[in-house]
């Protein structure tokens, strides 16, 4: 079936309908399309709105030159006037001036909950609790002329026996959702119905029946009417998402949410289900806790917002994104935005932001309940969320006092409309009674999420001072930090064995060594003798193979100590050591050489033929080794500060350019950095226990600033009027900052900040928004990812994840698919491959 032209209720634009009229789907009237926002709306509300002096605005409709607002209010005043104008439940005003329309004054006898465009230009549907309009019976649904509020001839919908909460227009079919069981005298309908959009005649296209209270179980819980609360129609007209107080749809469990496929002849329940709205939340306070739903302009996802008192692990008091393409049961949201105990009431979506409203105090507060916890970002009543991850954008006009909350959000091509129960935007800053408009004209584009690719440039901020050390391995033990300016001693444990030896050997730990002799350099930590690797069988013998560029002369240092009490006498442990095919230690007896429980070192000079091979052979008992170090001979390189920034061109595979120096004019101590990444023109990096940001164009660094979206000079001192006395909108620094001193590498992709931690084998991630700089409060571990304990840099480009080994300086690549690594790393470049050392405190791909 061809897609329907659609009228939704959370974004609006007017298109040419010539093709649709020819197809016979609609009359010559407005249909919905993308709002085409290129910026986030401005933060100062327009003054061209009237003052609605009581009640709540539940629905707003942009009718071109007019705006129609509906709700529970009864009176309105023009801005700057104290003359009260009676307008029970619905009014219109001039969009250009904000002046109340004197011609549009329909007499509606009950609350209006929904307003959407009618089937032809100049008409509008109203739905709600009313029974008459202009003295004529119109039970819960009417079609009016925008010009004067008169009823449109020819339209008379069925008499619904309960509240109509929402409407959606698709072609010449009107979808109706509410708390009703009949549509007309003898037509059973369980909360959903479809009508001829022009005449109002009931049809049999949509007959899905919603049944059973969500919370009320016959014994406990609040009890409310069963049915639909809100409808969201996909922009292509192919799907309808329904939320409300129900447990089942056509007898099948679809708790509080069901998705319908809109086919050519009927609407059917889609292959889409989730149990995430099944838990009971504050069940004595209200029956259902879903409050609003809206589709993205491109139809790729929809967002559901809720109330519910923030029960841990549930979707109470959250906004959650659901991807349209997902199918099946037990579906999970793409992201969840937590308020930490405050209600979301409304959502509207543009291309740049997911706007949410309610009576919020914070966003990114998954760890909080009625107070700010680590990660919380203050947002009074309203927020703009990153569509990628649900984190707050920098937009923060706020709305205080919060009251019941923002009940309506409507995105139009010109901006964003809010409907609420309060009088102010900001902290008593802009008086905008119950309706406000934020224009695109003063808006700004959110920070770009573009990342750099390869072939391109790789930057190394804080490379170590140059050293002749090529390899250091703490054989049999964990990674050990260097005690000099050289590289750390790489781990070689049972769980994470060194890649440079064959299989068949085993590891053991003997505790701290008793002493070391004079052969052990002062630059070697004595902890290398704590663990050993020994070879229990002569077939195969223990072998080590280190890539070193051919022609390079190196000193091989082998660290040895006999620690086992059963071989503590002379002659009880004897073995051979062979270097590059030459026996360099023949019938070596370590006890005879230096004594039991005492560390020693033996060194040998050799010229590499491309690999340096070290073999151990049995004589008496088992050969063993405690540590291996390979150092280039010759004079040491010039001393460096470790605060330089270098750049190399790189094709992503094998071609590496020569290093070039990037000026560090403010003498940033890059040697103390803890990972970094470049996104959209900004370099983010850790230092101390803080995240910093600065612009970087490949040549020039802008000034560094602390990333702290968790505190706001304007809102931090404003008392919320909720929670403990004196509680303000101040947030709390995210717990990621406490991890920064241990970060060894980080990168950004797809709205996520991935990072590695010193001494930990896992790969971790949090959501991240470069516009506000907010880091997600929740920490996630990439399932199955391991071996990341030796990291000195990490970045992903396309389908490849690149890692720098802290112990060797090698750059390796592995597959990166579905935002997770797979396969075995392959060394692409490194000191032993092409002479390039990739180690640095922050390694990132940039401009």
457 strand-pairing partners = 649, 846
User: Strand pairing of 811-817 and 820-829?
Assistant: antiparallel
Q: The domain containing residue 538 runs over which residues? A: 469-632
In the predicted model, is pLDDT for residue 263 greater than 80? yes
540: cis peptide before it, omega within 30°? Answer: yes
pLDDT in tens, 646-661: 999 999 999 999 999 9
- Residue 486: per-residue pLDDT: 77
Are 624 and 652 contained in the same domain? no
- The upper half-sphere exposure of residue 703, i.e. CA atoms within 13 Å in the direction of its Cβ, equals 2
How many Å apart are CA 105 and CA 146, to the nearest integer?
Answer: 10
Q: Among 396, 423, 439, which residue terminates a domain?
A: 439
Q: Among 563, 597, 632, which residue terminates a domain?
A: 632
Are 399 and 505 contained in the same domain? no
Q: Is residue 22 part of a domain?
A: yes
The beta strands (E) that lie in 671-776 are given as 673-679, 682-687, 690-695, 705-706, 743-749, 752-757, 764-767
Are 733 and 592 contained in the same domain? no
Across all residues in the chain, what is the average pLDDT?
Answer: 94
Please report which confidence band the pLDDT of residue 549 belongs to, taking 50, 70 and 90 as the band edges.
confident
pLDDT in tens, 586-601: 999 999 999 999 999 9
Q: Is residue 459 part of a domain?
A: no
Are 620 and 722 contained in the same domain? no
Q: Is residue 451 part of a domain?
A: no
User: Strand pairing of 627-632 and 469-473?
Assistant: antiparallel
Please report which confidence band the pLDDT of residue 832 belongs to, taking 50, 70 and 90 as the band edges.
confident
Please report which confidence band the pLDDT of residue 32 belongs to, taking 50, 70 and 90 as the band edges.
low
Are 662 and 607 contained in the same domain? no
In the predicted model, is pLDDT for residue 444 greater than 90? yes
What's the CATH code of the domain at 549?
2.60.120.430
In the predicted model, is pLDDT for residue 14 greater than 60? no
Question: In percent, how much of the chain has pLDDT > 70?
Answer: 96
In the block, which residue shows the tokens 């309960």? 162
Q: Which helix (H) or strand (E) segment is 590 a member of?
A: helix 590-594
Q: Among 420, 439, 458, which residue terminates a domain?
A: 439
Q: Is residue 456 part of a domain?
A: no
Are 405 and 474 contained in the same domain? no
What's the CATH code of the domain at 20?
2.130.10.10
User: Strand pairing of 173-178 and 210-211?
Assistant: unpaired
pLDDT in tens, 479-528: 898 888 778 898 999 998 998 999 999 999 999 999 999 999 999 999 99
- Residue 586: per-residue pLDDT: 97
In the predicted model, is pLDDT for residue 17 greater than 70? no
Are 522 and 576 contained in the same domain? yes
Are 75 and 110 contained in the same domain? yes
In the predicted model, is pLDDT for residue 640 greater than 70? no
Are 474 and 410 contained in the same domain? no
Q: Is residue 1 part of a domain?
A: no
Residue 217, classed as helix, strand or coil, is coil
Please report which confidence band the pLDDT of residue 157 belongs to, taking 50, 70 and 90 as the band edges.
very high
How many Å apart are CA 296 and CA 201, to the nearest integer?
Answer: 30
Could you tell me if residue 241 is left (phi over 0), alpha (psi between -120 and 50 degrees) or otherwise beta? Answer: beta
Across 294-305, average pLDDT: 98
* DSSP, res 534: E
The domain total for the chain is 3
Q: Is residue 447 part of a domain?
A: no
Q: How far from each other are the two terminal CA atoms of the chain, in whole angstroms?
A: 46
Please report which confidence band the pLDDT of residue 25 belongs to, taking 50, 70 and 90 as the band edges.
very low
Are 823 and 775 contained in the same domain? yes
Q: Is residue 735 part of a domain?
A: yes
User: Strand pairing of 705-706 and 743-749?
Assistant: unpaired
Are 666 and 600 contained in the same domain? no
Are 391 and 513 contained in the same domain? no
Nearest CA to 778 among 301, 353, 318, 306?
Answer: 318
Q: Is residue 638 part of a domain?
A: no
């Amino acid at each position: 079936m061809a897609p329907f032209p659609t009228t939704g209720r959370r974004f609006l634009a007017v298109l040419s309908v010539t093709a649709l009229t020819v197809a016979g789907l609609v009359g010559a009237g407005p249909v919905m399309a993308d709002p085409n926002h290129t910026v986030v709306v401005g933060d100062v509300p327009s003054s061209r709105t009237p003052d609605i002096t009581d009640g709540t605005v539940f629905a707003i409709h942009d009718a071109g030159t007019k705006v129609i607002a509906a709700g529970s209010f009864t009176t309105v005043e023009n801005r700057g006037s104290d003359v009260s104008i009676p307008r029970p439940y619905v009014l219109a005003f001039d969009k250009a001036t904000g002046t109340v329309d004197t011609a549009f004054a329909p007499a509606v006898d009950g609350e209006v909950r929904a307003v959407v465009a009618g089937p032809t230009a100049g008409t509008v549907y109203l739905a709600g609790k009313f029974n008459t309009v202009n003295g004529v019976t119109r039970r819960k649904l009417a079609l009016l002329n925008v010009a004067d509020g008169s009823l449109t001839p020819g339209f008379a919908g069925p008499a619904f026996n309960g509240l109509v909460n929402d409407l959606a227009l698709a072609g010449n079919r009107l979808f109706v959702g509410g708390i009703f069981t009949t549509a007309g005298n003898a037509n059973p309908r369980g909360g959903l119905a479809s009508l001829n959009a022009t005449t109002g005649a009931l049809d049999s296209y949509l007959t899905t029946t919603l049944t059973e209270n969500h919370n009320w179980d016959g014994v406990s819980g609040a009890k409310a009417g069963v049915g639909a609360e809100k409808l969201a129609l996909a922009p292509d007209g192919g799907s309808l998402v329904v939320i409300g107080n129900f447990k089942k749809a056509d007898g099948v469990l679809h708790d509080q949410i069901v998705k319908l496929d809109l086919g050519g002849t009927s609407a059917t329940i889609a292959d889409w289900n989730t149990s995430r709205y099944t838990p009971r939340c504050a069940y004595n306070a209200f029956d259902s806790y879903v409050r609003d739903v809206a589709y993205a302009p491109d139809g790729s996802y929809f967002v559901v917002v809720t109330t519910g008192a923030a029960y841990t692990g549930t979707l109470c008091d959250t906004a959650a994104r659901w991807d349209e393409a997902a199918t099946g049961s037990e579906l999970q949201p793409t992201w969840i935005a937590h308020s930490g105990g405050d209600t979301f009431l409304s959502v509207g979506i543009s291309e740049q932001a997911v706007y949410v409203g309610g009576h919020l105090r914070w966003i990114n507060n998954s760890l909080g309940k009625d107070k700010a916890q680590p990660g919380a970002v203050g947002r009074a009543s309203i927020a703009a969320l990153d569509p990628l991850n649900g984190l707050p954008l920098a937009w923060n006009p706020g709305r205080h006092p919060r009251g019941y909350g923002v009940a309506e959000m409507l995105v139009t091509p010109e901006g964003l409309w809010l409907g609420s129960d309060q009088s102010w935007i900001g902290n008593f800053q802009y008086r905008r009674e119950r309706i406000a408009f934020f224009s695109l004209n003063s808006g700004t584009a959110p920070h770009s999420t573009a990342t750099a690719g390869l072939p391109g440039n790789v930057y190394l901020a804080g490379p170590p001072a140059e050293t002749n050390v090529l390899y250091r391995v703490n054989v049999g033990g964990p990674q050990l930090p260097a005690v000099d300016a050289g590289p750390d001693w790489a781990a070689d444990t049972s769980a994470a064995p060194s890649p440079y030896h064959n299989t068949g050997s085993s590891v053991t730990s003997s505790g701290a060594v008793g002493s070391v002799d004079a052969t052990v350099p002062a630059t070697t930590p004595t902890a290398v003798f704590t663990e050993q690797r020994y070879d229990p069988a002569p077939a195969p013998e223990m072998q080590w193979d280190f890539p070193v560029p051919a022609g390079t002369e190196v000193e091989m240092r082998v660290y040895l100590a006999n620690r086992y009490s059963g071989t503590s006498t002379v002659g009880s442990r004897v073995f051979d050591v062979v270097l590059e095919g030459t026996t360099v230690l023949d019938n070596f007896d370590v006890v005879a050489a230096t004594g039991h429980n005492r560390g020693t070192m033996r060194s040998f000079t050799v010229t590499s033929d491309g690999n340096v091979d070290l073999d151990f052979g049995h004589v008496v008992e088992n050969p063993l080794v405690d540590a291996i170090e390979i150092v280039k001979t010759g004079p040491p390189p010039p001393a460096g500060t470790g605060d330089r920034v270098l750049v190399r061109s790189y094709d992503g595979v094998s071609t590496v350019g020569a290093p070039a120096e990037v000026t560090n004019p403010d003498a940033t101590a890059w040697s103390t950095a803890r990972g970094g990444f470049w996104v959209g023109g900004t370099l983010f990096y850790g230092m101390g226990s803080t995240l910093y940001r600065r612009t970087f164009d490949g040549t020039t660094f802008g000034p560094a600033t602390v990333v702290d979206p968790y505190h706001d000079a304007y809102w931090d001192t404003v008392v919320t009027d909720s929670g403990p006395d004196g509680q303000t909108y101040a947030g709390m620094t995210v717990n990621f900052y406490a991890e920064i001193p241990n970060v060894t590498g980080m990168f950004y992709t797809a709205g996520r900040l991935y990072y590695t931690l010193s001494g930990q084998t896992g790969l971790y991630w949090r959501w991240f928004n470069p516009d506000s700089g907010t880091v997600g409060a929740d920490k996630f571990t990439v399932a199955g990812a391991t071996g990341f304990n030796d990291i000195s840099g990490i970045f992903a480009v396309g389908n490849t994840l690149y890692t720098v080994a802290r112990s060797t300086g090698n750059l390796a690549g592995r597959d990166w698919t579905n935002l997770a690594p797979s396969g075995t790393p392959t060394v692409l470049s490194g000191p032993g491959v092409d002479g390039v050392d990739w180690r640095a405190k922050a390694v990132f791909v940039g401009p």
